[in-house]
Amino acid sequence: MTGELVHIGFGNILAMSRVIAIASPNSAPTKRIIQEARNKGLLIDMTNGRRTKAVIFADSGHIVLAALAPETITGRLMISRVGSALKPEQCDEKVRL
């Protein structure tokens, strides 16, 4: 199985093929889910002590905390998809995107 790997800050890499959703951590239900995952041992904190800006839900039931905003993570995913679709001679065009 091939999967796209996306850098989510501080040297942490996430397999996007396992991601179900990316949410903001501000709502009460999301905070409750984070606490439940912490209690069950399913929480993966990839913030390196920074403020949590994104909560990532994996298909395995794990919850991943990231210090990057959801928009930044999805933007990096889109750039990696555009980059993989380009031919080597189109690399200069990729920079202008």
Confidence of residue 93 (pLDDT cuts 50, 70, 90): very low
CB proximity list for 11: less than 8 A, separation 6 or greater: none
Q: What is the pLDDT of residues 36-74, one digit of tens each?
A: 999 999 999 999 999 999 999 999 999 999 999 999 999
Look up tokens 């994996």; give the residue: 58
pTM assigned to the model: 0.81
